[in-house]
Amino acid sequence: MTVQKKCSALVFDRPLTTALECGLIPLFVRVHESDNVAIIVAPEGVAPGVHDATGFAVRESIPQSHKVALARILSGEPVVRYGQTIGLANRTLEAGSWVREDDLSLPAAPNLDEMPLSTAVPAPLPALDGYTFDGFKNADGSVGTRNILGITTTVQCVAPTVDYAVRRIKAEVLPRFQNVDDVVAVTHGYGCGIAINAPGAAIPINTLKHISTHANFAARPLVVSLGCEKLQPTRLFESILPVLTEENTSIRLQDERGFAASVSAIMQAAEKRLTELNRRRREAVPASHLSVGLQCGGSDAFSGVTCNPALGFAVDLLVRAGASVFFSEVTEVRDAIHLLTPRAITPTVGRKLLAEMKWYDKYLASGGADRSANPTPGNKRGGLANIVEKALGSVAKAGTTAIMDVASQGQKVTSKGLVFAATPASDFICGTQQLASMNMHVFTTGEGSPYGLSLVPVVKVSSRTALAEKWHDLIDVDAGRIATGEATIEQVGWELFRFMLDVASGRSTWAEHWGLGNALVPFNPGPVT
Ligand code: CA
């Protein structure tokens, strides 16, 4: 019998120094004392017979991040993780056995008509003063974390022309404007061939409207339209369009004399805007000017134990500093909604939260799907059995403070404090939609994703040290040290908070270093014609 992991089990209500004291990796990590399963910590997994100091032994080979039964679980009994039922055992599971995805039946989703509203509103935490970052102040009161020329497009038809112009602007014009970070084309698949008056159309249109006036674009776009498309610039910009037209920063390609003239018109308008942007300088502003969008992608069973709780701690710090922070991804909140509606600051906010869940239930049903469609093969490889387990880990990102407001799909977040901004969970769709409101993005991952956005810095946090080591030039912060006892949630949370302030002041993330900008994909639940 091997004794290589002769350590006490790591449980979060005990000191997290156990592994270090032993000089060994803990056998498993359990989140809540009522849990009857825990996840395996060792990167290489464990073999049958491996036991801890209490004599608890593993019965079979179990890979890292997969679940081990801590006691005998009879068929039909709840399997408990995070102190919550993540499923019902569909066969008897012996203590020490591997609890696989197929061993669990998916429990019913929380009934949205029976949710407690504002019954456990957390008291405000003490204010956190004195934290600042160096940002770019805008005329509309927003603050940019980057100084970028944004070129918005109204329709996919013009995207290759704009991309061509941007390549030339970057090569021939941008080098003369040292204070401007980048030139970004807001290209997308929307704009024509769509039922633009269908109810769902407001979501992509509002998303593109808010992105076009992004804080990192100095809240003022350069616009390239085609002429005949459904999404006319008037619809996108309404009151500011006359200003753009007067400034010659709205270009309609069907008014131009051919391709070269079109590119020339875009380049001239770009030079005008670059001259203005180049005058901007960073200045110290309170951390309250941060607007941080939270997301996870490629999650694993460690996400809810390491990176998401550490991010949740950082979120509490941001809220205490007066910032705006929002979490999203409806399908990854839906199965933990009973833990969130009690935290709504008012019953009205709680009802708004429920309305977003109901809207998405209907949206999925209209496509012949339900919440079980969410976990990916990667999530399952990473030990997540189902959407309930995934959601319970996901909401740890949201920290512990009251939920101050809810933004519907496509709406801009306007409240300070913790907000729920409804989006799909798909990484690039969620990120696109969050761009409407954020000047900083934090992305937690277990399986790993090289994801990035061109408009805002994306801070990537790994759930496991093995991923941070393998992807040493993609992961910005390693939260895996929490599982091995080398760092606490609080330590990684503070590290992340300070890193965000540095990045907001101009420090590059790995995604920025490599120029990784995923395509913008506005969520369009409306019909295509
Ligand atoms: Ca996601």
- The CATH number of the domain where 182 resides is what? 3.40.50
Looking at the structure, tell me whether residues 63 and 140 fall in a common domain.
no
Looking at the structure, tell me whether residues 162 and 195 fall in a common domain.
yes
Looking at the structure, tell me whether residues 144 and 92 fall in a common domain.
no
User: Residue 121 carries which side chain, given as an amino acid letter?
Assistant: V
Task: Calculate how far, in angstroms, residue 492's C-alpha sits from the geometric centre of ligand 1.
Answer: 21
Task: Calculate how far, in angstroms, residue 297's C-alpha sits from the geometric centre of ligand 1.
Answer: 4
Contact of 455 with 185, CB cutoff 8 Å:
no
Task: Calculate how far, in angstroms, residue 444's C-alpha sits from the geometric centre of ligand 1.
Answer: 9
- Is residue 166 situated within a structural domain? yes
Looking at the structure, tell me whether residues 323 and 432 fall in a common domain.
yes
CA distance 90 to 75: 5
- Is residue 43 situated within a structural domain? yes
Task: Calculate how far, in angstroms, residue 426's C-alpha sits from the geometric centre of ligand 1.
Answer: 5
Task: Calculate how far, in angstroms, residue 295's C-alpha sits from the geometric centre of ligand 1.
Answer: 6
CA distance 403 to 54: 41
Looking at the structure, tell me whether residues 72 and 177 fall in a common domain.
no
Task: Calculate how far, in angstroms, residue 373's C-alpha sits from the geometric centre of ligand 1.
Answer: 14
CA distance 244 to 250: 6
What pLDDT, on a 0 to 100 scale, did the predictor assign at position 152?
96
- The domain of 232 spans 133-277
**Number of domains present in the structure of the chain:** 3
Q: Which of 277, 301, 329 is the C-terminal boundary of a domain?
A: 277
Task: Calculate how far, in angstroms, residue 254's C-alpha sits from the geometric centre of ligand 1.
Answer: 38
Task: Calculate how far, in angstroms, residue 395's C-alpha sits from the geometric centre of ligand 1.
Answer: 12
Q: Which of 277, 306, 323 is the C-terminal boundary of a domain?
A: 277
405 closest CA partner among 422, 426, 427, 425: 422
Distances in whole angstroms, Cα of residue 206 to Cα of each of 235, 376, 434, 514, 520: 10, 29, 12, 30, 14
Q: Supply 177's token pair.
A: 């404007």
Looking at the structure, tell me whether residues 404 and 436 fall in a common domain.
yes
User: Could you read off the pLDDT tens digit of each residue along the chain, which spans 529 residues?
Assistant: 222 333 444 444 333 333 433 446 788 999 899 999 999 998 889 999 988 888 899 999 999 999 999 999 999 999 999 999 999 999 999 999 999 999 999 998 999 999 999 999 999 999 999 999 999 999 999 999 999 999 999 999 999 999 999 999 999 999 999 999 999 999 999 999 999 999 999 999 999 999 999 999 999 889 999 999 999 998 888 777 777 777 778 999 999 999 999 999 999 999 999 999 999 999 999 999 999 999 999 999 899 999 999 999 999 999 999 999 999 999 999 999 999 999 999 999 999 999 999 999 999 999 999 888 888 888 999 899 999 999 999 999 999 999 999 999 999 999 999 999 999 999 999 999 999 999 999 999 999 999 999 999 999 999 999 999 999 999 999 999 999 889 999 999 999 999 999 999 999 999 999 999 999 999 999 999 9
Helices of type H across 278-376: 307-320, 337-340, 347-366
Looking at the structure, tell me whether residues 241 and 334 fall in a common domain.
no
Q: Is 184 helix (H, G, I), strand (E, B) or coil?
A: strand
Detail the DSSP E strand segments found in 162-280.
182-186, 222-225, 250-252
Looking at the structure, tell me whether residues 448 and 479 fall in a common domain.
yes
Strand 10-11, strand 291-296: pairing: unpaired
Helices of type H across 157-253: 159-168, 202-212, 233-237, 241-246
Task: Give the other-Cβ count within 10 Å of 85's Cβ.
Answer: 15
- Is residue 432 situated within a structural domain? yes
Looking at the structure, tell me whether residues 225 and 254 fall in a common domain.
yes
Task: Calculate how far, in angstroms, residue 353's C-alpha sits from the geometric centre of ligand 1.
Answer: 18
Task: Calculate how far, in angstroms, residue 381's C-alpha sits from the geometric centre of ligand 1.
Answer: 17
- Is residue 50 situated within a structural domain? yes
Task: Calculate how far, in angstroms, residue 206's C-alpha sits from the geometric centre of ligand 1.
Answer: 20
Task: Calculate how far, in angstroms, residue 329's C-alpha sits from the geometric centre of ligand 1.
Answer: 6
CA distance 236 to 454: 21
Task: Calculate how far, in angstroms, residue 427's C-alpha sits from the geometric centre of ligand 1.
Answer: 4
HSE-up (13 A, CA, CB side) for residue 245: 10
Q: What are phi and psi of 528, to 5 degrees?
A: -100, 135
Q: Which of 91, 108, 125 is the C-terminal boundary of a domain?
A: 108
Q: Supply 173's token pair.
A: 């014009």
Task: Calculate how far, in angstroms, residue 419's C-alpha sits from the geometric centre of ligand 1.
Answer: 17
Looking at the structure, tell me whether residues 191 and 327 fall in a common domain.
no
CA distance 37 to 339: 20
Task: Calculate how far, in angstroms, residue 294's C-alpha sits from the geometric centre of ligand 1.
Answer: 9
Task: Calculate how far, in angstroms, residue 391's C-alpha sits from the geometric centre of ligand 1.
Answer: 11
Tell me the β-bridge partners of 134.
284
Task: Calculate how far, in angstroms, residue 394's C-alpha sits from the geometric centre of ligand 1.
Answer: 10
Q: What are phi and psi of 296, to 5 degrees?
A: -125, 155
Cβ partners under 8 Å of residue 194, min gap 6: 201, 230, 231, 524, 526, 527, 528, 529
What pLDDT, on a 0 to 100 scale, did the predictor assign at position 5?
39
Looking at the structure, tell me whether residues 347 and 476 fall in a common domain.
yes
What pLDDT, on a 0 to 100 scale, did the predictor assign at position 216?
98
Distances in whole angstroms, Cα of residue 19 to Cα of each of 302, 486, 510: 17, 8, 30
- Is residue 522 situated within a structural domain? no
Q: Supply 82's token pair.
A: 């995070």
Task: Calculate how far, in angstroms, residue 488's C-alpha sits from the geometric centre of ligand 1.
Answer: 25
Q: Which residues surround ligand 1, an ion (CB under 5 A)?
A: 295, 297, 425, 427
Provide the CATH number for the domain around residue 54. 2.30.130.110
Task: Calculate how far, in angstroms, residue 443's C-alpha sits from the geometric centre of ligand 1.
Answer: 8
Q: What DSSP element (H or E) covers 469?
A: helix 465-470
> Listing from the earlier edge strand, what are the strands of the sheet with 148-153?
182-186, 148-153, 222-225, 250-252
Task: Calculate how far, in angstroms, residue 296's C-alpha sits from the geometric centre of ligand 1.
Answer: 5
Distances in whole angstroms, Cα of residue 470 to Cα of each of 42, 360, 376: 15, 36, 21
- Is residue 262 situated within a structural domain? yes
Looking at the structure, tell me whether residues 462 and 342 fall in a common domain.
yes
Task: Calculate how far, in angstroms, residue 505's C-alpha sits from the geometric centre of ligand 1.
Answer: 26
User: Residue 499 carries which side chain, given as an amino acid letter?
Assistant: F
